[in-house]
Structure 1
C-alpha cells in the first residue's frame, strides 16, 4: 500500500512539474495558453495562427506555450480558473459558466437577423461600449478576442426536424440563451459542455444538439447523428480569449501593445477557421450519407419570431440582477436594424 501511495505522489509531482512555467530566457516572456480543445480543432488552428503572429511580431520576446485538450482549463469554469492563474491566457466560455455572468449569457440571444461573424462581433462591441456591466462581468481578465460563429442548425440521431412541430418532445443539448425559446416549442433542453455531447447522443441521453454544421467534422457528430436540419438559429458573440489581469499588468507596455494590436488578427483567424469548418462539415455530412433536411421558410419565420419574443423576455428578467437588460436588448436591435453593424459604432 505504501508503495502505491509513493507512486501516486510521484505522478502528481510530475504532472505539476509538466504544467509549471518554463524558465524564461532573459528578456523573454513565456505565456502559458490553455484550451479545452485538441490542436487539430478549428479553434485551435486559429489559436496557433495567433501564437505564430505574436511570437514573430515581438521578435521572440513573447513565447506562447500551449496546453491543449483541457490539461489546464475546463469549459464551465474557465473565467474563474483564468482569474486564479491556472494559465496566463486561455480559451474562455463565459456563456457556459455554471453561475454568474447573467448579462453575458443573456445577450448572446439578442442577435436575431445577424448572419455574419463580423457583424456578430460588431454588435457585441456596440453593446459593450454602451454598457459598463459587460466589462464588470469580465473583471479579473483582459479580453484578447471576441468570437462569433456559424449559425447553429439542429443535428438529431433518429428523428429529422422539418418544422417546429418536429421539435416537440426532443431532448436537445443547446446553448443556455436558447433554453426559453426551445422550451416554448416543446423541447427538453439540456446544457452541457460540447465535449460531452458525442457520448450523450451515442448513449441516447439526448436526441441531438443545436450546433453548426462544422460540428459534424470537428466533433465527429456524423458518427452519432443521422439528420442535419437546416433550421437556422441566430447566435451571438462573446469574449472567447483572455489573459489574467495579474499577468497582463506584469507585462511591459510595449508587449501589451503587441497583444492589443493582435486582437483583430486573432478574431480574423477564428472567423476564417470556423467558416472553413462549416464548409468541411457540410461536405462530410453529405459524404457520410446524413440526411440534409430543408425547413420551410414559413417555419423559419415562426422560429425567428419566437426567438425575438423570448430574447425580450430574457432581457427584462435581467432587472432582478440590477442589469439594464431591456436597454441592452434595444441597443442591439437598433444596431442590427441599421443593416451594417460593423460600421454602426
Structure 2
C-alpha cells in the first residue's frame, strides 16, 4: 500500500508538470518493458494510431520500463488509477484471475496468434466468469504468442524421454506435464533464466525461438527442440474502468475500434521477433532437433489431460472450469476457429 501511495503521488506530480491543452484528453500508458522491446514497439504503433485517428484530441503519454506498473500487481494498480492504461498479465497474477490463468492451457491446436485470440474472444463472450475476474478494468487488447519449444544447454532433446532428469524452467501450467515425463521442472522469472542456465542451475527452458535474440539465449543455449508446446491468449492491455467511464462515447468507440489495430501490431512485432531469433540462433550455431509427430501427439494428449484436470479443480472455488474447457475445445476445429456456443 505504501508503494501504491508513492506511485500515485509521483503520477499526480508528473501530471501537474504537463500542461494539457484545451480539448485534449491525456491518458497515461504504463508497461514494464523498455521502448526497444517488441511489445513496446507494438504499443507505440497503437499510440500513434490513437493520436492520429482522434485528430489529436486523445494524447497517450507512455511510461516505459516499469516506472509505474509492476508485473505482478498490474491489475490492482490499474484499478487504483496508478496509470490510465497499462500492460497486464493476469495469467501470472496469483489471486483473483483463476479461470483467466487456467484457460491459457486449453488451446492445443490453436497454433497461430490469430487463432489464439479468436478462442479467447469466444470464451470472453460465452463464459461470464471471465468478465467477473476482469471487473474494474475494460480490456483493450488480447495477446497470443509463438509456440514455445525446448532450449537446452548441455544435451539435445530429440524425444520426450530425453527430458527425464532435466531441470527445466517452465510456465506453471506445464509443471505437472513435465514432472510426469520425468523432468524436474521449476518456475522462475524469465529474467532469471539466462544466469541460471549460464551457471548450470537449470538445464534448459521452455521458450519460443524469439528468445534467442530478445533474451540472448543464443549465448547460453546450444540446442532447440521443436516440440510444439501449446499456449493460450489472455487480456494484455486494459484501461481502468473509472477512467473508461470518464471518456465520451466517441473516445470509447475509438478505443474499442483500436483493439484490432493493437492486436495486429502485437502479432506483427512478435513474428518479426521470431525471425530475428531464428537468425540469431543460426548465427550462434544452435542445433535444431525436430520432434517425431508421434511424440508430439503423445505430448498433446498429456497436455490436454492435465488442462482438463486443472479446469475441474476450479470447482473448489465455485468456478465451472469444465464448461470453459469444453467451449474452448469445441471452438478449435480442423477448418478453423468456430464459436458455435452462446452465453
Q: TM-score, normalised by structure 2?
A: 0.92
Does residue 309 (structure 1) correspond to residue 327 (structure 2)? The answer is: no
Q: Which of 18, 22, 27 in structure 1 is aligned with 2:23?
A: 27
Change (3 A) 1:244 1:193: farther
Counterpart for residue 68 of structure 2? 72
- Give yes or no for contact 1:54–1:258 (8 Å, CA) kept in 2: yes
User: 5+ residue gaps in structure 2?
Assistant: 1-5
Does residue 281 (structure 1) correspond to residue 277 (structure 2)? The answer is: yes
- Give yes or no for contact 1:119–1:342 (8 Å, CA) kept in 2: no
Could you list the runs of 4 or more consecutive aligned residues of structure 1 that deviate by over 6 angstroms after TM superposition? none
**Shift in Å, 1:193:** 3.0
Distance 2:257 2:211 in 1: 30
Change (3 A) 1:201 1:335: same
Mean Cα displacement is larger for which, 62-71 or 16-25? 16-25
Counterpart for residue 335 of structure 2? 339
Change (3 A) 1:19 1:210: farther
Distance 2:262 2:73 in 1: 22
- Give yes or no for contact 1:75–1:193 (8 Å, CA) kept in 2: no
What is the DSSP-based 3-state SS (H/G/I as helix, E as strand, rest coil) of the residue aligned with 1:213? coil
Counterpart for residue 99 of structure 2? 103
- Give yes or no for contact 1:142–1:243 (8 Å, CA) kept in 2: yes
Give the paired residue count: 333
**Shift in Å, 1:137:** 0.7
**Shift in Å, 1:140:** 1.2
What is the DSSP-based 3-state SS (H/G/I as helix, E as strand, rest coil) of the residue aligned with 1:189? strand
**Shift in Å, 1:18:** 9.5
Distance 1:189 1:18 in 2: 43
Counterpart for residue 32 of structure 2? 36
What is the DSSP-based 3-state SS (H/G/I as helix, E as strand, rest coil) of the residue aligned with 2:231? coil
Distance 1:162 1:222 in 2: 19
Counterpart for residue 259 of structure 1? 255
What is the DSSP-based 3-state SS (H/G/I as helix, E as strand, rest coil) of the residue aligned with 1:259? helix
Distance 1:323 1:343 in 2: 21
Does residue 188 (structure 1) correspond to residue 184 (structure 2)? The answer is: yes
Counterpart for residue 208 of structure 2? 212
User: 5+ residue gaps in structure 1?
Assistant: 1-11
**Pairs within 5 Å for 1:158-197:** 158-197=154-193
What is the DSSP-based 3-state SS (H/G/I as helix, E as strand, rest coil) of the residue aligned with 1:262? helix
**Shift in Å, 1:75:** 1.7
- Give yes or no for contact 2:87–2:236 (8 Å, CA) kept in 1: yes
Counterpart for residue 4 of structure 1? none
Distance 1:173 1:87 in 2: 32
Distance 2:199 2:340 in 1: 46
Distance 1:338 1:197 in 2: 36
Counterpart for residue 323 of structure 1? 319
Distance 1:19 1:183 in 2: 50
**Shift in Å, 1:316:** 0.7
Deviations 1:93-133 (A, max 9, x none): 10011333110111000011111111111111111111110
RMSD of aligned C-alpha atoms? Answer: 1.9
- Give yes or no for contact 2:119–2:328 (8 Å, CA) kept in 1: yes
Change (3 A) 1:163 1:272: same
Mean Cα displacement is larger for which, 268-277 or 175-184? 175-184
Counterpart for residue 245 of structure 1? 241
**Shift in Å, 1:62:** 1.0
